[in-house]
């Protein structure tokens, strides 16, 4: 079965018992892993339970396909249902999953983490069309979704956050659920002893801007602003501080996506101010002039080209053996040079 957007969260909290195989997939790896874990915990209390949890992957099942059925039908020494987790799911699993769905174990739930599967994926098509399986997409969160997560986590910790502080932080964290949670948890630790339990913009920048969101902004605006020297300097600074290259690329993609939305609005007749005001969250006031300049500099077609390059670069960086620092630096050089033309 193919889940709609509104069906996803209820399913994660209480999976349909008819679904014996759940495929969790999409470009937001952090959200994918989070949802797979939440679904798994509806079966077992501890995802590391050695008696009721089996962790497999496409490679191990390729060499030993019978193991899926063996693990799913194994009787636990401690009783209870079993959870079969399959990591790095790929189309190579399609024949095996098809065979399993013809006669699935009634006491086991198979959860597959499928990564960014396209609509042409045979595994995705199989699960979406099966009545006893469920396909659950995990697309890159919009800023408004991250804003909701920020408020939810802070409220649970007994903290309140100003609107401008929430908007600024959401803009920085859009793109990766795990990165967002880590930064929000850091903010909670930083602010939990605040006398008035209130989080302001200065607090967020002080906590999450050092070596993180603030420097990512510097990287973004230097690159798209055509300042090659500043872009490469900030890139090296972020690497030295332990910022993941994927986090940098996701931040750049999010910024280009927002530029694209505003540029399309301008193409349809809006002026720069109207186009920028249509974005949610709003552009942080410090960067308004720079963002406006980029809007005037880049066409929709050029932004499409940049986005495609960043997405290909992210995919390349996830491949073993790719000199990710080198290819990312080359991309920053190319994009910043294009911004000067």
Residue closest to 232 by CA, chosen among 329, 337, 324: 329
- Confidence (pLDDT) at 328: 95
Provide the number of structural domains found in the chain: 2
State the CATH number of the domain containing residue 32: 3.40.50.300
Q: How far apart are CA 334 and CA 329, in angstroms?
A: 9
Residues 230, 264: one domain?
Answer: yes
Residues 188, 73: one domain?
Answer: no
CB 149 within 8 A of CB 184: yes
Residue closest to 116 by CA, chosen among 190, 25, 178: 25
Domain's final residue, options 137, 172, 196:
137
Coil, helix or strand at residue 317:
helix
CB 217 within 8 A of CB 224: no
- Name, in order, each residue with C-beta under 8 angstroms of 19's C-beta and a sequence gap of 6 or more: 1, 109, 132, 133, 134
- Name, in order, each residue with C-beta under 8 angstroms of 30's C-beta and a sequence gap of 6 or more: 176, 177, 178, 179, 180, 181
- Confidence (pLDDT) at 281: 66
Q: How far apart are CA 15 and CA 125, in angstroms?
A: 20
Whether a cis peptide bond, with omega within 30° of 0, leads into 281 is yes
pLDDT digits (tens, 9 = 90+) for 147-204: 888 999 999 999 999 988 888 888 777 767 777 888 898 888 878 877 888 998 878 8
Residues 240, 268: one domain?
Answer: yes
Tokens representing 113? 């983490």
Residue closest to 184 by CA, chosen among 217, 210, 216, 208: 208
- Name, in order, each residue with C-beta under 8 angstroms of 79's C-beta and a sequence gap of 6 or more: none
Residues 50, 69: one domain?
Answer: yes
Q: How many residues does the chain have?
A: 341
- Confidence (pLDDT) at 143: 65
Q: Each residue's pLDDT tens digit in the chain (341 positions)?
A: 999 878 998 999 999 999 999 999 988 787 898 899 999 999 999 999 989 999 999 889 999 999 999 999 998 777 789 999 999 899 999 999 999 999 999 999 999 999 888 889 999 999 999 999 999 998 766 666 788 889 999 999 999 999 888 888 887 777 677 778 888 988 888 788 778 889 988 788 777 765 445 578 889 999 999 999 999 999 998 888 777 788 788 889 889 998 999 999 999 999 999 999 888 767 877 788 999 999 999 999 999 999 999 999 988 888 878 899 999 999 999 999 989 88
- Confidence (pLDDT) at 4: 84
Q: How far apart are CA 278 and CA 270, in angstroms?
A: 10
> What is the DSSP secondary structure assignment for residue 2, as one 8-state letter?
B
Domain's final residue, options 86, 115, 137:
137
Residues 322, 186: one domain?
Answer: yes
- Confidence (pLDDT) at 168: 81
State the CATH number of the domain containing residue 210: 1.20.272.10
Q: 110 to each of 23, 70, 94, 224, how far by Cα in Å?
A: 8, 12, 14, 44
Residues 326, 201: one domain?
Answer: yes
Residues 230, 331: one domain?
Answer: yes
Q: How far apart are CA 67 and CA 246, in angstroms?
A: 34
pLDDT digits (tens, 9 = 90+) for 13-24: 999 999 999 999
Tell me the residue range of the domain where 292 lies.
146-339
């Amino acid at each position: 079965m193919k889940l709609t957007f509104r069906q996803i969260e209820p399913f994660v909290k209480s999976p349909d018992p008819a679904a014996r195989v759940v495929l969790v997939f999409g470009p937001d790896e952090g959200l994918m892993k989070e949802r797979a874990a939440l679904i798994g915990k509806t079966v077992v209390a501890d995802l590391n339970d050695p008696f009721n949890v089996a962790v497999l992957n496409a490679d191990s099942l390729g060499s030993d396909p019978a193991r899926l059925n063996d693990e799913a039908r194994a009787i636990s020494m401690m009783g209870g249902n079993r959870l079969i987790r399959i990591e790095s799911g790929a189309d190579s699993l399609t024949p095996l999953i098809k065979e399993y769905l013809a006669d699935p174990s009634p006491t086991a739930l198979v959860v597959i983490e499928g990564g960014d599967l396209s609509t042409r994926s045979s595994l995705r098509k199989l699960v979406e069309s099966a009545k006893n399986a469920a396909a659950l997409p995990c697309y890159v969160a919009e800023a408004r979704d991250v804003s909701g997560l920020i408020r939810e986590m802070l409220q649970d910790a007994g903290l309140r956050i100003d609107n401008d502080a929430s908007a600024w932080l959401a803009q920085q964290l859009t793109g990766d659920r795990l990165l967002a949670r880590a930064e929000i948890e850091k903010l909670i630790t930083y602010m939990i002893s605040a006398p008035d339990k209130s989080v302001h913009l200065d607090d967020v920048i002080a906590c999450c801007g050092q070596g993180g969101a603030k420097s990512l902004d510097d990287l973004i605006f230097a690159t798209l602003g055509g300042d090659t020297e500043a872009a490469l300097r900030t890139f090296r600074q972020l690497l030295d501080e332990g910022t993941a290259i994927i986090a940098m690329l996701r931040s750049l993609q999010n910024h280009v996506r927002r530029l694209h939305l505003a540029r399309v609005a301008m193409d349809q007749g809006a002026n720069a101010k109207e186009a920028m005001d249509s974005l949610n969250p709003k552009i942080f006031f410090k960067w308004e002039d720079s963002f406006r300049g980029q809007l005037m500099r880049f066409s929709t077609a050029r932004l499409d080209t940049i986005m495609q390059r960043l997405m290909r670069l992210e995919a390349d960086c996830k491949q073993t053996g790719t000199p990710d620092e080198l290819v990312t630096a080359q991309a920053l050089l190319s994009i910043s040079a294009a911004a000067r033309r």
